[in-house]
Amino acid sequence: MSDTEPSPPAPQVDLSNCDREPIHILGRVQYYGCLIALSSDWIIAHASENCDAILGQSAESILGTRFIDLFSQEAVHFLRTRIQVLSYQPGAARAFAYPLFGDERLFDISIHNGQRHLIFEFEPRTGPSRQLEEAGDVQALIGRVQHQGTLEKMAQEAARGLRLLSGFDRVMVYRFEEDDSGTVIAEALERGQKPYLGLRFPASDIPAQARRLYTRSPLRIIPDVDGPTYRIVPEVDPNGEPLDLSLAVTRAVSSIHLEYLRNMGVAASMSVSILRRGKLWGLFACHHRTPLYIDYEKRSSVELFAQLFNYELAQVEMDSELRDVDRARSLHDRMMAQLSSGHRIHEAFEHLVEDIREVIPFDGAAIYSDGAYTAIGSTPTREEFLGLARFLNTAPASQIYATDNIGHRYPKGQDFVERAAGLLSLPISRTPRDYLVLFRRELAQSVTWAGSPEKPAEIGPNGIRLTPRKSFEAWQEIVRSQSAPWKAGERRAAEALRVTLLEVVLKLTEESNIVRKRAQDQQELLIAELNHRVRNILGLIRGLVSQGSDEGTSVHAYRSVLDARIHSLARAHDQLTQTEWDWAPLLPLIDTEAKAFLSQKYSRLTISGDRIDLTPTAFTTVALLVHELVTNSAKHGSFSDSSGSVTVDVELQENGNAVIRWREHNGPPVKPPTRKGFGTTIIERSIPFELQGEVDVRYKVTGFEGDFTLPARHVRRAAEDAPVEILPAASGSNSASLSGNALVLEDNMIIALDAVDMLTALGAQHVSTASRVADAMRILDQGDIEFALVDVNLGDEMSLPVVERCTAEGIPVYLATGYGANADIVSQFPGIPVIRKPYKIEHLRAALSEHPPVRPGKT
């Protein structure tokens, strides 16, 4: 290359690399736990590769299988109960030291709702639960924090307490500044370590997406920066989307962050969020020089400690805010007394600023109103201020504006930086913009950075980016052209002062503008109200037109038929979901479809014969068939008049095939269809085409007849003693209700309270709750219980004695359980309605409608 040939351009360093790193979808988990993600129908959609080592099942072998086949019935019941509690608490549902496989192996378990999946995480555990013991430790440590008088002392005591609780070598309290950099305001560390107290870390050390995750997920642990990680398979779902791990406790760590920790000599770390009003105020940053793992229960105690510290922090800041409010109110009263005599604000300005100085320190003040400029102390000249006023006019209206570096925002401010480097502006009118402005002089301050905030750009191991610092020697930055920052309390006082001055100015100098503004505001309000009412009227007219349209048009008829068919499939899908997309019974399908369309004519349907179950494929096909048979009969057949009836007989033949015989009687004369529409096609061809079965239909004058043969591979005989599992009502209203007193036997307090609300809403006069069999028996001894809702498994005992007593005394009893309806444990209660957890009031209402709770001898 010649000397005159230009050199290739240097690679461009992307300063936003860290902020754009997708840390929530890294697709890996840390070594200490494994992860399983379920689809909405409880099929395993993703699993981490270390499931084999932790659960004894490889990820490849369990993908696409049912979650309930992976664990025992006891474990599934327990996990389902935990999921119901999940809706009443933020974050994850947790379980500690649980024997997942019924043996000596214990696991800590986390369950949370992901973006599209239900995510389970399992961590091996040794030793029993210490929950009560550690709760006492947390309470004692927070008690020490409460006795501190200042925020700094509270933070220092919190750092000491958290170090004792967690066992980490170093615990820092890290507070975010307004520019998103962070300062270590308290520190507890092991003897011999280099302190970081007072150091400030640049905003790029904790990028924006990491701060967002800290707000959603309050604790993050890295037991070993060099520990192995394991892939989540598959990496993406069938739509090409990776699994969202935002709230996953075992989520793997960014390689950039791991490099950063290694550079600091940290082998293990833990970060715990400090929140204030839902925003990230700071962090407890914990470091350890060697790998350190603390179990999930201990981490939960750490989270509790942080939450209680948040409350104490809120109390301290609230007290400070209240003091600011008191000072602002006192200032307001004094100013109103000074200005109520009718003097213009310029005339009282000197006394006014002295009162303001008691609340907000400043070096100079100026007021600009009605074209007049008055200044006291260190301020710009009038000419300089006129240019500054035009800049302030671009700020949001009706808000204070503050900066500690005027020249950075307004370049011409460099001309008077020696007199005014920072300002706090209070707009005191709307048109024209008039201002009261407080100024502060330049304050050359020394900031101790933990490494230069302007980090050198290098091509590091993770590409072209800002490489983490290799040295953490303190780096001094002298801040020029800046004033002391305006604190949050000073800004609040300024906002209160702005309102006071606006009130005064409007009262004394803008009386006519006030009247005009009020008229304008009233007109805007009337226009908005008129617009709202007109839109409501137009919406009502549109609804009337839609509801009253001609039902005889072909478009309307098509829409009605299509809508009915979609709802039929939806009802079938609901029933399949209840059976977790497994074999499902035929008779409830016919029953549900008939109820949806026949209303009062439902009693003219008779169903008899064998009880059979269908495969999911056959179930959806038969659902459409039954829908067409019911709707055709309602339109043209035996259900179209007041005298006809229909019988449905089901026969399971010796060869394993099943025949559904549909017979219509005493209806209007039947005529064969002159054309074959889509409904007729479904009746005559869906079973042969979809299931390779047989169909024989006859359009007899006396009534339509149809024989529908389902192949053996799609049917099986239902268990004779299988309990009846209640499905939610498919459509229409349901007036089922209760009366009298009820009993809820449930060992989970939240679920019990929820059940009380549901039963009360359904009409129960009083609902008693019990968590143990003995307590339920004492309630039954009172002799006034008319209805019982009983959980099958109460942890260390079964509810069988209560169910047996209710049955013996004729008390209607319903089972609420996380087990499947065909589970062995539920089969001990044949004929008793089963409501599957998690359940809602619709499920209870459907159960009451299907099996009314009437005691023998009562009506």
The one-letter code for the residue type at 698 is: R
- Secondary structure, 3-state, 643-685: CCEEEEEEEECCCCCEEEEEEEECCCCCCCCCCCCHHHHHHHH
Neighbours of 695 (CB within 10 A): 16
In the prediction, which pLDDT does 336 show? 66
Residue 760 DSSP one-character state:
H
Residues 36 and 109: their CA atoms lie apart, in Å, by: 11
pLDDT band for 789, please (50, 70, 90 cuts): very high
pLDDT > 50? residue 793: yes
Contact between 296 and 112 under an 8 Å Cβ cutoff? The reply is: no
Coil, helix or strand at residue 17: helix
Residues 621 and 687: their CA atoms lie apart, in Å, by: 7
pLDDT band for 528, please (50, 70, 90 cuts): very low
204 or 306: which carries more pLDDT confidence?
Answer: 306
Mean pLDDT on 179-199: 89
Mean pLDDT on 610-626: 85
580 or 498: which carries more pLDDT confidence?
Answer: 498
Mean pLDDT on 440-451: 80
User: What percent of the chain is modeled with pLDDT above 70?
Assistant: 79
pLDDT > 70? residue 723: no
pLDDT band for 34, please (50, 70, 90 cuts): very high
pLDDT > 50? residue 733: no
Residue 689 DSSP one-character state:
I
The one-letter code for the residue type at 254 is: S
pLDDT > 90? residue 342: no
pLDDT > 60? residue 334: yes
Output the CA angle 403-408-410, nearest 5 degrees: 85
pLDDT > 50? residue 534: no
Nearest one of 634, 15, 33 to 293, comparing CA atoms: 33
pLDDT > 80? residue 166: yes
Mean pLDDT on 496-511: 67
pLDDT > 50? residue 86: yes
Contact between 246 and 216 under an 8 Å Cβ cutoff? The reply is: yes
Buried b (16+ CB within 10 A) or exposed e, 108-141: bbbbbebeebbbbbbbbbeeeeeeeebeeebeeb
In the prediction, which pLDDT does 466 show? 39
pLDDT band for 537, please (50, 70, 90 cuts): very low
572 or 801: which carries more pLDDT confidence?
Answer: 801
pLDDT band for 16, please (50, 70, 90 cuts): very low
* 379 alpha-carbon distance from chain centroid: 51
Residues 273 and 174: their CA atoms lie apart, in Å, by: 10
Residues 183 and 180: their CA atoms lie apart, in Å, by: 10
pLDDT > 90? residue 65: yes
Residues 805 and 794: their CA atoms lie apart, in Å, by: 17
Residues 6+ apart with CB under 8 A from 422: 402, 403, 404, 405, 406, 439, 440, 482, 483, 484, 485, 486
Task: Lay out the sheet containing 785-791: strands in order across.
Answer: 766-770, 741-745, 785-791, 813-817, 834-836
Nearest one of 837, 783, 811 to 803, comparing CA atoms: 811
Bridge partners, residue 66, by sequence: 43
Residues 788 and 809: their CA atoms lie apart, in Å, by: 12
Neighbours of 311 (CB within 10 A): 11
Task: Please tell me the least confidently modeled range out of 10-14, 466-470, 623-627, 826-830.
Answer: 10-14
The token pair that represents 24 in the structure block: 């929530």
In the prediction, which pLDDT does 33 show? 97
- Secondary structure, 3-state, 145-198: HHCCCCHHHHHHHHHHHHHHHHCCCEEEEEEECCCCCEEEEEEEECCCCCCCCC
Contact between 6 and 452 under an 8 Å Cβ cutoff? The reply is: no
Rg of the chain over CA atoms, in angstroms?
Answer: 37
Mean pLDDT on 804-819: 87
Mean pLDDT on 256-285: 90
510 or 711: which carries more pLDDT confidence?
Answer: 711
Neighbours of 301 (CB within 10 A): 21
Task: Please tell me the least confidently modeled range out of 25-29, 232-236, 300-304, 701-705.
Answer: 25-29
Element (H, E) at 120: strand 118-125
In the prediction, which pLDDT does 565 show? 41
pLDDT band for 551, please (50, 70, 90 cuts): very low
In the prediction, which pLDDT does 568 show? 44
Nearest one of 331, 492, 498 to 398, comparing CA atoms: 498
- Which DSSP string corresponds to 269-301? EEEEEEEETTEEEEEEEEEESS-----HHHHHH
The one-letter code for the residue type at 243 is: L
Residues 438 and 420: their CA atoms lie apart, in Å, by: 9
Mean pLDDT over the full length of the chain: 80
